[in-house]
Amino acid sequence: MKKVLIANRGEIALRIIRSARELGIKTVAVHSECDAANLHVKMADESICIGGNRAKDSYLNIVALMSACDVSGADAVHPGYGFLSEQAHFASTVAECGITFIGPKPESMKKLGSKVSAREIVSKSGVPVLPGSGVLKSVEDALSISKDIGFPVLLKASNGGGGRGMRIVRSEDELKRAFESAQSESKAAFGSGDIFVEKFVEKPRHIEIQILADRYGNVIHLGERECSLQRRHQKVIEEAPSMHLDEELRQRMGKAACAVASAVNYESLGTCEFLLDEQKNFYFMETNTRIQVEHPVTEFVTGIDLVKEQFYVAMGERLRYKQSDIKLTGHAIECRVNAEDPYSFMPSPGKIENLIWAGGLGVRIDSGVYPGFSVPPFYDSMLAKVICYGHDRKESRAKMLRALRECVVEGIKTNIPLHKKILEHEDYVSGDTYTKWIEEKLLV
């Protein structure tokens, strides 16, 4: 592998450039018209404009991306996260052009891309799944299955994520309205109105397991991430490890995640997401067939560069680690800093007049913005990830509060005040949080 085209933008594109450079691999940045001054464009060995400002005209334009590969001579593509990163069609197109796709095989992506097919595969592997259905044919079908499962239930888009096409239903009376709404939103967001129903767990915790696999059948897990702090199903703060898992439960969940990967001959980096109920029972939710936004907390506690491991696997190397090599040391917390009003949560695009990021031992900032940078209104509002590492959770939290106080972003609004409020709350300190905690306890 000599040259990689990064089919993404912002902080993740910059993150990939750094690992590629350390491996001696040249990089090609692609960008929309409004992203021409982005930091990832400046840092790459070369850059190519692939279209207009709307994602569908640039970062989602497969023809433009493949043309950029042809023009630049790139022999590999890294998709990052979001955009086309989990599109099996894109991975297939890349492979058909004789270019290495840095990610799983298209066949594995297809099997895990649909939540319904993933549930079927996972249940056959002996991994616990919540009681639920296949793709629902009608509202009557949904009602019949929901009665069998027992309310409350959760309607979910089969081919989506991020909370879109998802509705909590607590009674028969709510079901018809929720069914039509979820189906419509799913079709608009993902091009498919397929939805299914599963049992809704009250006050669950969201735990995800990082997996790594090669083409030779070797699969390991790299521990868990606690991702329960969310707003409208979007993660806000993540940490590793979770204070709710002991070593026995960690290994059981890790083995379950590895079983999912083995069932589809998975290759590359991936994440299995689970719900953990108050009795410490866990249930498979979905698999993300890409690198996660929150991967730095795992890198801190394992000491492993996950992006480099993606490169090594894509180049055909065997895993460089055995399961017995993986030790979790210390504690890491990540806060997603977004360009948004911390109270109304309205996006806050515009020019950053002044910017100072925090520093010091155990503080990492992953960001693609700088003083004078104009935040466009066309994409995700995340400006940076502030990641702090300490010997334990108490020290990591103290570092994060100190780091957030050092951060200065002027000219636009950010959600830094929200992060401070969460970190200072007694429920966060004790770990007494769950997926709806921000909406039900913090913002009331």
Which tens digit of pLDDT belongs to each residue from 286-344?
Answer: 999 999 999 999 999 999 999 999 999 999 999 999 999 999 999 999 999 999 999 99
Helix (H, G, I), strand (E, B) or coil at 104: coil
The answer to whether residue 34 scores a pLDDT higher than 90 is yes
Domain-ending residue, one of 84, 102, 120: 102
Backbone angles phi, psi at 210, to 5 degrees: -80, 125
What is the per-residue pLDDT across 416-430, written as a single tens digit (0 to 9) for each?
999 999 999 999 999
Output the pLDDT for position 158.
Answer: 86
Query: Do 159 and 273 reside in the same domain of the chain?
Result: no
Question: Residue 166 sits in which domain range?
Answer: 131-199
Residue 118 lies in a domain: no
Output the pLDDT for position 191.
Answer: 83
Query: Do 256 and 330 reside in the same domain of the chain?
Result: yes
Query: Do 373 and 246 reside in the same domain of the chain?
Result: yes
The verdict on whether omega for the bond into residue 106 sits within 30 degrees of 0, i.e. cis, is no
CATH code of residue 335 = 3.30.470.20
Q: What is the dihedral sign for C-alpha 41, 47, 50, 52?
A: positive
What is the per-residue pLDDT across 250-277, written as a single tens digit (0 to 9) for each?
999 999 999 999 999 999 999 999 999 9
**283's tokens:** 């249930």
What is the per-residue pLDDT across 139-160, written as a single tens digit (0 to 9) for each?
999 999 999 999 999 999 988 7
Residue 114 lies in a domain: no
Domain-ending residue, one of 102, 120, 147: 102
Task: Tell me the pLDDT band of 239, cut-offs 50, 70 and 90.
Answer: very high
Q: Residue 269: which of 74, 75, 90, 109 has the closest Cα?
A: 109
First to last CA, the chain: 52
Q: Which residue, chain included where needed, has tokens 């997603």?
A: 336
Contact 352, 411 (CB under 8 A): yes
Active-site residue, 232 included: no
Q: Which of 290, 336, 364, 397 is catalytic?
A: 290
Residue 204 falls in which region: left (phi positive, over 0), alpha (psi -120 to 50) or beta: beta
Residue 386 lies in a domain: yes
Query: Do 214 and 162 reside in the same domain of the chain?
Result: no
CA atoms within 13 A of residue 409's CA, in its CB half-sphere: 30
Backbone angles phi, psi at 155, to 5 degrees: -85, 135
C-alpha–C-alpha distance, residues 169 and 193, integer Å: 18
**In the chain, what's the furthest Cα-to-Cα distance?**
60
